[in-house]
Amino acid sequence: MTYRLRRWTDADLPLLHAANVPEMMEHLAGPESAQRIRRRHEQYIRGWDSGRPHMYTVRRDDASEALGSIGWWESELRGEPCLETGWMVPPAHQRQGVATAAVRLLVDEARTAVREHDLPTTLLACPNVDNVASNALCRRAGFTHEGTLEDDYRGVPMTLNIWTISLGGPV
């Protein structure tokens, strides 16, 4: 099976609704309003022109629908610029290696962007410490664990793991 990433388009709004359920949003401060989902979708479309964020859907050659989302955007870790990533795969497609394939492709995409646009060479992922699947994913994809940080996501205080991977070096 071949996976690929496709730039977010106007047709991808249903994926955000499929992910806006309590079991998917357990570690992300719970489901969002329809209005916030629409705003997020518009940011994802505009991001490709404005530079933030660069979001993709995850595709597989045997499936017509999007299997999940992933992306990168410019961020900061301990006062230093970095790129940050985030992902989701709705329940119907989980535990089949979709996110693992997507992260590998995303790292390749981000490495290309770093080479072409002189961007920071660290990619950061910050899953909630209780998010077993996302933390397993970081480990599996070769990120290094660098401790934890306290943050406030949509008004909910959280302890997040800090995982990083280098985007620099030889191709």
Ligand X SMILES: CC(C)(COP(=O)(O)OP(=O)(O)OC[C@H]1O[C@@H](n2cnc3c(N)ncnc32)[C@H](O)[C@@H]1OP(=O)(O)O)[C@@H](O)C(=O)NCCC(=O)NCCS
Q: What does the binding site for ligand X look like in residue numbers (CB under 6 A)?
A: 24, 27-28, 86-89, 94-100, 127, 131-134, 136-137, 140
- Distance of closest approach, residue 170 Cβ to ligand X, in angstroms: 26
- Distance of closest approach, residue 139 Cβ to ligand X, in angstroms: 6
- Distance of closest approach, residue 67 Cβ to ligand X, in angstroms: 8
The residue written with tokens 């920071």 in the block is: 120
**Which burial class, exposed, middle or buried, applies to 11 when counting CB atoms under 10 A from its CB (0-12, 13-18, 19+)?**
exposed
Start-end of H helices in the chain: 13-19, 22-25, 34-50, 98-117, 132-140
49 vs 152, beta carbon nearer ligand X:
152
- Distance of closest approach, residue 29 Cβ to ligand X, in angstroms: 11
The residue written with tokens 């390749």 in the block is: 108
Helix (H, G, I), strand (E, B) or coil at 91: helix
9 vs 96, beta carbon nearer ligand X:
96
Residue 110 has φ and ψ, to the nearest 5°, of -65, -40
